[in-house]
Chains A and B, each alone.
Chain A
Amino acid sequence: METLVEFFTFEYPNIKYVVFGTILLSISSAVVGCFTFIKKKSLVGDVVSHAVLPGICISFLASGSKDPFLLIIGAFISGWISIVVMDAIIRNTKIKEDAATGLALSVFFGVGILLMTYIQHSGNASQSGLDTFLFGKAAALVGVDLLAFSIIAVIVLIVVFLFYKEFKLVSFDPQFAKVIGLPIRRLEIVLTSITVLAVVTGIQAVGVVLMAAMLITPAAAARFWTNRLSRMLVIASFFGAFAGISGAFISYSTPSMPTGPWMVMILSIIALFSFFFAPGKGIVVNQWRRFKIQRQLLEENLLKAFFKIGEGNNDYFKEIEANDLRLARAFSSGQLNKGLRKLNANGYVERVGSAWRLSKEGHDKGKRITRLHRLWELYLTKYLRIAPDHVHEDADTIEHVITPELESRLEQLLDYPTADPHQSTIPSRH
């Protein structure tokens, strides 16, 4: 708790800088990542993040200094070259996109590692620290580095803000964009440039290997929560920023915990959570809905069985043994127990010794389901010309779906019938 207070009151100015920096980097990666994600170019971020390494090394070798601006320029150039090479391979050879992506990534990264190893062994005094690009080191975000990377992150955000509408159209329907006269080539160049820039700044925090996660994970997670691009950008930024703060806090409060990998861990947790729990799309939510439907089907089928037996006995409120229900319909004993308990709890049936009896409400509900079943069977034979011995299965499903409003229309359409195709009585509504 003390650490938490200490952290968030920014007692040490260093913390303030690191937190500020990681938030800014995370947001710019997340926003740009949304566009690579919706353009289905998710792997481009991975290629670029690996491909900036040779640029950083060459620019260090050429200048002999670690001036962040020079390194960024080098990184930017080699990141761009990797994209141009990749596109040229796809366009001019038989190699498809997946292979071209793999090729560009590994070749550029290979050259980068080669140069990096050379620099490390050349005994250059100032080389220490260059390898922060490889694995990222958010805690090193201070002074002129922080300034440089923050400026770029802000530029990236401003560009997205200015070109939001155009990027959206180019991502959705590039042909239409071209026909209405948008400069799509230039827009693509701008979009690619800010992608490269976001990557270049992001690798400061998490390194080349984890960078793709910073781009894509917030976007993928945000997509679960909204169907609007504008909101997706905001949600992804929020996820990114949250991961940034949390990562910085964890590495501050626990010794030897790295910031970058923790940011990625937290993003992954957010993505997993979204995957399972997001309303409408999350797996758990869907599963829960399915479970509830299953339960509804079981209960309604049981009430229908009660009603059918009562119909035979000419007494709907006579006690019925659980096993007799299985003669009306094949319930497993587990289903039977669970369903009866639930119906009892809801007041649709009551227990009488070892047997069960319908309540008034249970009778009404069972009657309605039976009625819908028979109405639908009649509808199928009359309007879809399906043979009477083929309609039962279908009606078994549809009886649970029909709303009171559809029920009325069905009744009217069939001219208020009294018997179904099997000459069973269609029970009246009341």
Chain B
Amino acid sequence: MIQQVENPALEIHDLTVSYDKKPVLWGVDLTIPKGALCGIIGPNGAGKSTLIKSIMDLIPLNSGYVKLFDQELDDVRKKISYVPQRESVDWDFPASVLDVVLMGRYAQLGLFKRPRKADRDAALSALEMVGMDKYAKRQIAQLSGGQQQRVFLARALTQNADIYFLDEPFAGVDAATEKAIIQILKNLSSEGKTIVVVHHDLQSVETYFNWVILLNLRLVASGPTSDVFTPQLLEETYGGKLTLLSEVGELVKKGGFHAREKQ
């Protein structure tokens, strides 16, 4: 069940990606409509984060292409916001909460320029949105996991983007934070922004998302939650990995092949 849409916010065409020479995503081909609040669902090791990272051009593609608003990534970077996994940075870094949130404005500022008053205002109002305005001066090492995630979301909010990619924003955060974050995401979505979230709690999928991508090394399904979030498709996603696919992947790695022959 892969539903394609006209005039999509995100288009992924025939995407194949390898990690350490082993293919981890095979031929993913999908489109997401504008304004969707979309969850990427699948078991551990299914390639969910890999999919987001390859959309963001953080890992090289073996084949295929990604388009955002029908344009190349480099042409629309200012409309994109990315919230990496919390564990991807060292929270012992010498910076305050405000310092980190201000980083969201660096792209708008351009090289050589220091953050202006307006950028501080934007950062503070983003902090207020995530309920962290009282912590602006706090050293980031002193934050709890949920607070760190809120800070990362605030940094993304300062970018005023049109499409947001969040990698596991609910992993290891408290219930109050999860609730606050999903509310913010729903508000953004109702303003017409597109949101893509890596998620793995099946319980909350139906209440959180209106579009679902089921992923397990290959694309199982992509479409409106009510069509895609069905027992059969979930069974297909979670019911054991395709052992044949994994074994072929291992062979590709061992033999030193490339997942796609170079033309």
Contact = CB atoms under 8 A, between A and B. Distances in A.
Interface of A: 38, 40, 162-163, 165-166, 168-169, 171-173, 175-182, 223, 226-229, 232
A162 B113 CA distance: 8
A227 B84 CA distance: 23
B260 interface: no
A182 B80 contact: no
Contact of A181 (B77, B93, B112, B114): B77
B96 A175 contact: no
Given A165-B114, A165-B115, A178-B57, A173 B88 contact: yes
A172 B95 contact: yes
Nearest to B138: A227
10 contacts: A168-B95, A171-B93, A172-B89, A173-B89, A175-B84, A179-B80, A180-B77, A180-B106, A227-B141, A229-B99
Contact of B94 (A165, A173, A227): A227
Contacts of A163: 111-112
Given A163-B111, A169-B103, A173-B89, A181 B74 contact: yes
B53, B94, B113, B115 interface centre (most CB from chain A within 10 Å): B94
A178 B88 CA distance: 14
B211 interface: no
Contact of A229 (B56, B90, B95, B159): B95
A180 B93 contact: no
B136 interface: no
Contacts of B125: none
B100 interface: yes
A163 B96 CA distance: 19
Interface of B: 53, 56-58, 74, 77-78, 80, 82, 84, 88-90, 93-96, 99-100, 103-104, 106-107, 109, 111-115, 139, 141, 155, 159
A39 to B, nearest CB: 9
A226 B94 contact: yes
A232 B94 contact: yes
Given A176-B82, A227-B96, A169 B88 contact: no
B88 A175 contact: yes
Contacts of A166: 106, 111
A227 B142 CA distance: 11
Contact of A38 (B57, B94, B103, B115): B94
A172 B139 CA distance: 14
A15 B78 CA distance: 53
Indicate the member of A172, A180, A182, A228 with the most B CB atoms within 10 Å.
A180
A161 to B, nearest CB: 9
B125 to A, nearest CB: 19
Contacts of A226: 94
A171 B103 CA distance: 12
Nearest to B107: A180
Nearest to A180: B107
Given A165-B109, A165-B115, A182-B107, A228 B99 contact: yes
A182 B105 CA distance: 12
B95 A228 contact: yes
Contacts of B139: 227
A413 B21 CA distance: 61
A228 B94 contact: yes
Contact of B107 (A181, A223, A227, A228): A181
Contacts of B95: 168, 172, 227-229
Given A40-B90, A165-B115, A168-B95, 20 more contacts: A165-B109, A165-B114, A171-B93, A172-B100, A172-B103, A173-B84, A175-B56, A175-B58, A177-B106, A178-B57, A179-B77, A179-B80, A180-B77, A180-B104, A180-B106, A181-B78, A228-B94, A228-B96, A229-B94, A229-B99
B88 A180 contact: no
Contacts of B57: 178-179
Contacts of A173: 84, 88-89, 103
9 closest Cβ pairs, A-B complex: A180-B107, A181-B77, A227-B139, A179-B82, A229-B94, A173-B89, A179-B56, A172-B93, A169-B103
Contact of A179 (B58, B96, B99, B113): B58
B58 A178 contact: yes
A159 to B, nearest CB: 11
Contacts of A177: 106
A271 to B, nearest CB: 16
Most B C-beta atoms less than 10 A away, residue of A177, A181, A223, A232: A181
A38 B74 contact: no
A40 B90 CA distance: 10
Contacts of B155: 176
B106 A165 contact: yes
Choose among A173, A176, A228 the residue with the greatest number of B CB atoms under 10 Å from its CB: A176
Nearest to B165: A179
A121 B182 CA distance: 74
Contacts of B88: 173, 175
A176 B152 CA distance: 10
A368 B119 CA distance: 51
A180 B158 CA distance: 12
Nearest to B155: A176
A63 B112 CA distance: 38
Contacts of A176: 82, 84, 103, 155
A180 B113 CA distance: 16
Nearest to B83: A176
Contact of B112 (A162, A178, A232): A162
Contacts of B74: 181
